[in-house]
Amino acid sequence: MWHPRGGHYFPFLLYILAWAGEGSHGANNVKIKVPALFTFGDSIVDPGNNDFIATNVKANHPPYGENFIGNRSTGRFTNGKLAMDFLAASLGIKQTLPPYLDPNLTNHELLTGVSFGSAGSGYDNLTAKTAGVIPMWKQVKLFTTYKARVERIVGPSNSSNIISQAIYVVVAGTNDIVQNYFYLPTRRKQFRAEQYEQFLLLGCTNFVEELYKIGARKIVVYGLPPVGCLPIQKTILKQNTVNGCIKHCNQVALSYNKKLNETIKNLQARLPGIKLVYADIYAIILDFVKHPIKYGFETSARGCCGTGLSEIGLTCDSKSSVSCKDPSKYVFWDAVHLTESAYHIASDMILNEYISELL
């Protein structure tokens, strides 16, 4: 017997029953296409899971969240909502996507999707280990515990329907390339750039296959962004830039993305019943960087927090010496992550260009 919090048993049971039947409609005769949204990966999709683990990679302090609902620092690495929050709203699921590790999640929140993302994570286990965060393999394990919880709430049949009809977004690889390859020596001593790309692609392949085994069928996999355009990358590496970005770093990202696209096509052909889409986030963010005015921004050269050149996480705090007055005029919030405004625009583009292929 299901006894959710808040006394919403009957209306939500109707919701589930209406959705579960083929071709059925909800109480308002609106066909429900996407029952839930799930995200996996790094800080781009972490709404606060890191707040519940022992790591220093957190954004649970001001000025993070200054434009979020209630002006709260939730653990999101931006000033407000993430792209996945906007995507969940656009799909008619809910207004924000919560972290799975939040102990106060309601049954309704569980059934309509959560994020397993952990800021600092990547396909390379060493990346997550170095940051003390949740590796991708463990995010999959958490998803199996999620499935068991949902089965207890609505039963195995309805649980399988939710999982098979939900949309999955996988965002990883940036920390592997930026931090674990460009900054730290271990992987550079073991791999040439091309070899490390293949290493990460194998990690991505294994991850998608694990999701598939659990029941996921509609999956979007992000490519790398133009990592050579990140303010922190330009500050730390101090290399000559071309059009405001480090050319070599972007070439690595482009090389990886080309191979990732082919990997996705191969998986699509090999896994029966799967809908698998590669999302070219590189092109979206590069256009933000090159043409900020086109999107209503004033600058993409630095972030809003502090100097905007190196601040992130613990160094982006309320004591930062410089902070912009209007984050909506900036592409970047800190030296790595986008502002809420940029995420909102990116979310619409992702929905129209990539998620739409899964609907």
334 has catalytic annotation? yes
Active-site residue (options: 43, 118, 310, 347):
43
Q: Per-residue pLDDT tens for 38-65?
A: 999 999 999 999 999 999 999 999 999 9
Question: Rounded to two decimals, what is the model's pTM?
Answer: 0.91
CA distances from residue 206 to 134, 136, 177, 209, 307 in whole angstroms, order as listed: 16, 10, 18, 5, 39
Given the residues 337, 341, 344, 347, select the one marked as catalytic.
Answer: 337
pLDDT, tens digit, for every residue of 59-109? 999 999 999 999 999 999 999 999 999 999 999 999 999 999 999 999 999
SS3 244: coil
Specify whether 337 is catalytic.
Answer: yes
How many Å apart are CA 75 and CA 59, to the nearest integer? 4
Q: Which is higher by pLDDT, 1 or 55?
A: 55
| Mean pLDDT confidence for 190-198 | 96
**Catalytic: which of 85, 102, 176, 334?**
334
| Spatial contact of 297 and 329, defined as CB atoms under 8 Å apart | yes
CATH 1.20.120 fits 32-225+248-281+340-358, yes or no: no
pLDDT for position 40: 99
Given pLDDT bands bounded at 50, 70 and 90, which one contains residue 29? very low
Q: Taking 90 as the threshold, does the pLDDT of residue 268 lie above it?
A: yes
| 348 has catalytic annotation | no
Q: What is the mean pLDDT of residues 199-219?
A: 98
Cα dihedral 228, 231, 236, 242, rounded to 10, equals: 40
Averaged pLDDT for residues 167-179: 97
Task: Assign 321 a pLDDT band (cuts: 50, 70, 90).
Answer: low
> 290: part of which helix (H) or strand (E)?
helix 281-290
Say which residue the tokens 């290399």 belong to.
239
Residue 283 has pLDDT above 50, yes or no: yes
